[in-house]
Amino acid sequence: MSINYYNMLHVKKTFLVLILFSVQLLSTYAQTDKPIYLDSNAPIADRIEDALQRMTLEEKVAMTHAQSKFSSPGCARLGIPENWMSDGPHGIRAEVLWDEWYGASWTNDSCFAFPALTCLASTWNPEMAHLYGKSIGEEARYRNKNVLLGPGVNIYRTPLNGRNFEYMGEDPYLSSTMVVPYIQGVQSNGVAACVKHFALNNQEVDRDKINVVVDERTLREIYLPAFKAAVQEGKAWAIMGSYNQYKKEHCCHNEYLLNDILKKEWGFDGVVISDWGGVHDTRQAVLNGLDMEFGSWTNGLDWGTSNAYSNYYLANPYLKAIKNKEFGTKELDDKVRRILRLTFRTTMNRQRPYGSFNTPAHSLAGKTIAEEGMVLLKNKKNLLPLDKNKTQKILVVGENAIKRMTIGGGSSSLKVKYEISPLAGIKSLASPSSEVTFSMGYASPAVAEQDVVGAKADTTTYDAAAIHAAAVEAAKAADVVIYVGGLNKNDGQDCEGNDRASMGLPYEQDALINDLADVNKNIVVVLLSGNAVSMPWINKVPSVLEAWYAGSEAGNALASILFGDTNPSGKLPFTFPVSLADCGAHALGEYPGDGTDVHYNEGMNIGYRYTDKQKKAPLFPFGFGLSYTTFRVNQVTLSDKHLSKTGSIEVQATVTNTGDRAGKEVIQLYISDKKCSVERPVKELKGFTKVALAPGESKVVTFNIDESMLRFYSVKDHAWISEPGKFEAIIATSAEDIVAKKSFTLSL
């Protein structure tokens, strides 16, 4: 056998190089007296510093900005992995091309769609929030995403906001309570929750430039508490800045919001991520608290400019400025420390689970959350639940009964493995001997599927008058009409990028519902929406159900409620005003502003706070929701009428299921400050408990009240304070349905 002399010489040469490299490495170790790599069990802080001191200036700067639409670089030389982000709060977005918004046409990235966050908030159940976060976190982890771009907790200021469906309602306490377990569930998978949009992102009109003018008390008491809870209680690993401005600075690099409040006052140790394209200036981005820049076509680049990431404000312009001595490296090192901390918590955490994707467990979780969040608004003569064992003619009317609701809406649009329509769900539970028919009734312009190259909308056209008339005619012969309408995720409805034009139902639905009610008194109106809508027909229909956007299992969950397999227990997370004139932001404040500024002149008077101030009943109040059973709440007691600064008192109430089926009721605690040196809302939510009861069963609900629950933000003292005096503890089942009031005094 012959021997290749050249190959032998090459092997010897390679071996010699390796020996020399090892000697050099050992020599370096001896000189620096530092380990080459710290043990993986070493404290994260030590591992961060070890990595940081090994990185070059160029490697550090590279980590602070995107390298593709949804990723940022790590440091390959040191074995530090990339960061991969994913929209959104309701499901894991389809894979997109490296530098395009279009889908990558993978065949294994069809996700499960969870209900919209308005539906989750309507459960008034923190256990559901944890289940939601854990389940969606498992899907993100399985897809190897280490940052989930959600949840959203911006406050519901106006019913016109196109992104309200992504948020958790009008009340800071409810949002705070629900966001914490969501975050904990997500992050138990080694995936960072990126809470958004910080802060004051309450409209889509002029969102990229509008400057919000709001007083400090309102900022602190209404718009920041959910973010504060996310940071201090939920321990969120990431926060996303918002597009709008505050104090004439964009919120993605806002000195007061990001440095003074978020990082210094609240002690946030995670990363601040820009919204996509939300950065506008290198100097502000460097100095004002931003850590990672994401987006497309920033820094003056034209729409569609490809692979331009080196031009981003925190890319070459930042590197050049440091080399020119315009900046030191103090701010850069802080940004990189935070990014490394994110990495060690997620992709470099060897203990994180593997996740799971589109499992039966996730389907069950999504269906359970959807069922518990749907809100029964009206049920005259107990038309609902329908008897699934009865032979009957059921007419389903409305485009929303068949329209896909998991696509559209902006960044929350999803590519799903399946989506059960309301019509399919109804057919699956109705008696096999029943006749279930469908009539369109109305139609909206079709929308092309997002993230699909060359996607075209359905070009089917309808004669609006003809399909309206056909539905009304069909209703005459039906035993029951189930109308499935509301809003959808078209532009100008519940959709990112634009707001609604009015509170009315689009596509002439109000007229259609009126006409249907004229010919059939057994009509159930099912609304799919993420916003309050006006209901000029409310007195003509016996039953109304708010079913939200319920995700992949929407149809099955809806049918379960309609036919009584599940007893509805959802409560509204925001007020349904009769009209915009009954909304504080429109009656007292400005909307949408003058294109430069929008003034929140209404202050804290939004939602039920404004309703209380005006003493005018809304269409449906905050916290309202009916059941197929009945409850009695009585025996409300207060353990003491005097509260000290360091003590607490108990409020107890007995809840009894007085009906004939199992159900759940939400007992709500509001606090009223009867005399204060500053104007305060008439009452504010400070506690709630969801109670499950069998027929005839009673349970005692207990709330603990301490001094911290009575505080307001003092602009003069720049602190949260309380004042001695008289207060009321209010037990209720909605903001309008008061059970009892108990007075007590605070002594300081």
CA distance 71 to 59: 15
Is 275 annotated in the active site?
A: yes
How is residue 31 written in tokens? 């000189």
User: Which residues, 6+ apart, have CB-to-CB distance to 291 below 8 Å?
Assistant: 64, 271, 272, 273, 335, 338, 339
Task: Please indicate, yes or no, whether residues 389 and 520 belong to a single structural domain of this protein.
Answer: yes
Q: Which residues pair with 691 in a beta bridge?
A: 665
Distances (CA, A) of 298 to 83, 275, 283: 20, 11, 15
Name residue 504's amino acid: G
CA distance 179 to 234: 8
Q: Kindly state whether residue 364 falls inside one of the protein's structural domains.
A: no
Question: Which single residue is written with the structure tokens 């990126």?
Answer: 194
Task: Please indicate, yes or no, whether residues 590 and 639 belong to a single structural domain of this protein.
Answer: no
| Alpha-helical regions (H) of 589-687 | 608-614
* Residue where one domain finishes, among candidates 318, 337, 356: 337
Q: What are phi and psi of 684, to 5 degrees?
A: -140, 140
CA distance 684 to 173: 9
Task: Please indicate, yes or no, whether residues 316 and 260 belong to a single structural domain of this protein.
Answer: yes
* Residue where one domain finishes, among candidates 614, 646, 678: 614
Name residue 469's amino acid: A
Span 125-168, pLDDT tens digits: 999 999 999 999 999 999 999 999 999 999 999 999 999 999 99
CATH number at residue 314: 3.20.20.300
Q: Kindly state whether residue 515 falls inside one of the protein's structural domains.
A: yes
CA distance 170 to 413: 23
User: In 694-748, where do the E strands start and end?
Assistant: 698-706, 712-714, 719-721, 725-732, 738-747
How is residue 669 written in tokens? 């605690």
Total of domains in the chain = 4
Q: Kindly state whether residue 90 falls inside one of the protein's structural domains.
A: no
CATH number at residue 473: 3.40.50.1700
CA distance 615 to 736: 10
Task: Please indicate, yes or no, whether residues 706 and 599 belong to a single structural domain of this protein.
Answer: no
Which regions in the chain score pLDDT beneath 50?
1-36
Task: Please indicate, yes or no, whether residues 58 and 4 belong to a single structural domain of this protein.
Answer: no
Task: Please indicate, yes or no, whether residues 28 and 43 belong to a single structural domain of this protein.
Answer: no
* Residue where one domain finishes, among candidates 312, 337, 362: 337
- Kindly report the CA angle at 304 between 300 and 307, in degrees rounded to 5? 85
CA distance 274 to 255: 14
pLDDT of residue 304: 79
Indicate the SS3 state at residue 378: strand
pLDDT of residue 500: 97
Strand pairing report for 631-638 and 648-657: antiparallel
Domain hosting residue 306, numbered range:
37-63+239-337
The helix-helix angle for 464-475 and 509-519 (nearest 10°) equals 30
pLDDT of residue 37: 61
Q: Kindly state whether residue 692 falls inside one of the protein's structural domains.
A: yes
| Alpha-helical regions (H) of 188-329 | 216-218, 225-232, 282-287, 316-323
> What one-character-per-residue DSSP string does 416-439 give?
BS----HHHHHHHHS-TTSEEEEE
How is residue 37 written in tokens? 């790599």
CA distance 617 to 611: 7
Task: Please indicate, yes or no, whether residues 455 and 555 belong to a single structural domain of this protein.
Answer: yes
Encode burial over 7-27: b for 16+ CB neighbours within 10 A, e otherwise: eeeeeeeeeeeeeeeeeeeee
Question: Which single residue is written with the structure tokens 């009610």?
Answer: 517
Q: Kindly state whether residue 620 falls inside one of the protein's structural domains.
A: no
Task: Please indicate, yes or no, whether residues 285 and 248 belong to a single structural domain of this protein.
Answer: yes
572: left (phi over 0), alpha (psi -120 to 50) or beta: beta
Query: From the candidates 87, 109, 206, 275, which is the catalytic residue?
Result: 275
Indicate the SS3 state at residue 562: helix
Strand pairing report for 393-397 and 435-439: parallel
User: Which residues, 6+ apart, have CB-to-CB distance to 267 below 8 Å?
Assistant: 231, 232
Distance of CA 363 to the CA centre of its chain: 19
- Answer whether 179's CB lies under 8 Å from 129's CB: yes
Span 682-730, pLDDT tens digits: 999 999 999 999 999 999 999 999 999 999 999 999 999 999 999 999 9
* Model pTM score: 0.94
Q: Kindly state whether residue 79 falls inside one of the protein's structural domains.
A: no
Q: 6 exposed, middle or buried (CB, 10 Å; 0-12, 13-18, 19+)? A: exposed
Q: Kindly state whether residue 346 falls inside one of the protein's structural domains.
A: no
Q: Kindly state whether residue 645 falls inside one of the protein's structural domains.
A: yes
CA distance 202 to 213: 12
User: Which residues, 6+ apart, have CB-to-CB distance to 549 below 8 Å?
Assistant: 90, 115, 116, 118, 119, 165, 405, 489, 494, 528, 529, 530
- Of 540, 531, 550, 549, nearest in space to 512 by CA: 540
Element (H, E) at 135: helix 126-142
| Alpha-helical regions (H) of 304-431 | 316-323, 330-345, 360-373, 422-429
